[in-house]
Amino acid sequence: MMALVAPVSALQDALAAENAAIFGYGVAGAHLTGTGQAAAEQDWTGHSEARDQLVTMIARLGAAPVAARAFYQLPFAVHDAASARDLAAYLEDGVTRAYLGLVAVSDQQLRGFGALAMQGSAERAAFWRGSTQAFPGLQGS
Amino acid sequence: MLAASAAALPVLLAASGCRSADAFAGPDPLAGPPSPAPDVLTLQAVIAAEQALIRLYQAAIGTSTRATVQEHGLEALLAQHQSHLTRLRSRLILPAPTPSASASPAATASGTPAAVGIAQLRAAEGASAASLLRRLATVQPGLAQLFASIAASDATHAMVLGG
């Protein structure tokens, strides 16, 4: 049986993943054009809104939200549209894993919030990857 | 009474109106199998729903044109649902109940699969994702995470099916 996760810790992990995604989409968007670039901009906006929501939620719990880093080490070189799409899928996978942590807290509303956020990031990952996964967010998916 | 043998104890307990559970700590061996825990019941229901979804895909693949199956990647989606079922079953110690024929949404009484369209699959995927989310609140964290992951997968299926 998995132990319950502390809400603030899980929210901070989600915020950290959103911050990384915002940075990463900035890189990916620079290598995309047309509908791909428009989708990247839309996703960047969505992650920015999610970040703001998480900051508010963490502050309400009396904690200081983790700050975004100035720079994030990319998992691989991004030099064209294909690698930009791969990066976007990678970022969304990370966001999905982070929100999965929220599903393990005892607060029922936070569980639902995390699960819904997982659906959004899994859909975006499927869009960028061009295929779906059996177990988004879980190892061996 | 001090001379009463162990063999005579159940008789004495019965005569006094006591059941064995009143005299001994632990489960009562005379009361039949214990009731399944709530998580087990939930898991059984989710497994049954996953099986129904698999039958729906099998019917869709069996009654659609090859072009439709390939265009929507139905075989790949079916394979992911079979993975869901395997993972769900691995969490269950008890054998899952055999679903009744009436639970099948895709089979007629004669066993001939009814035609299943893409819109029906899309609706079933959306309903499955929503149902799993409703179950999150009452289960243990690890099971909630598995349900959430499967729900996310189902949501992506609905998306690629045009949802």
DSSP assignment string, B98-145: PPPGGG-SSB-TTSPBPP--HHHHHHHHHHHHHHHHHHGGGS-HHHHH
> What whole-number distance in Å separates Cα of residue B98 and Cα of residue B44?
10
**Looking at the complex, does the CB of residue A131 fall below 8 Å from at least one CB of chain B?**
yes
Largest alpha-carbon pair distance within chain B? Answer: 84
Tell me how close the Cα of A2 comes to any Cα of chain B, in angstroms: 5
Other beta carbons within 10 Å of B40:
14
Residue written as tokens 């598995």? B146
Other beta carbons within 10 Å of A34:
8
Amino acid identity, position A88: A
Q: Pick out chain A residues at pLDDT < 50.
A: none
What pLDDT, on a 0 to 100 scale, did the predictor assign at position B107?
45
Other beta carbons within 10 Å of B15:
9
Sort out which chain A residues have CB atoms less than 8 A from B140's CB and list them: 1-2
Other beta carbons within 10 Å of B116:
22
What pLDDT, on a 0 to 100 scale, did the predictor assign at position B65?
94
**Looking at the complex, does the CB of residue B142 fall below 8 Å from at least one CB of chain A?**
yes
Extract the tokens encoding A111. Answer: 């569980």
Amino acid identity, position B106: A
With a CB-CB cutoff of 8 Å, which residues 29-68 of chain B face chain A?
A: none
User: Rounded to 5 degrees, what angle do the CA atoms A52, A95, A8 make?
Assistant: 60
Decide: pTM greater than 0.90. Answer: no
**Looking at the complex, does the CB of residue A112 fall below 8 Å from at least one CB of chain B?**
yes
What pLDDT, on a 0 to 100 scale, did the predictor assign at position B27?
65
Closest residue by Cα to residue B139 from A40, A112, A9: A112
What pLDDT, on a 0 to 100 scale, did the predictor assign at position B3?
42
Q: Pick out chain B residues at pLDDT < 50.
A: 1-16, 18, 101-109
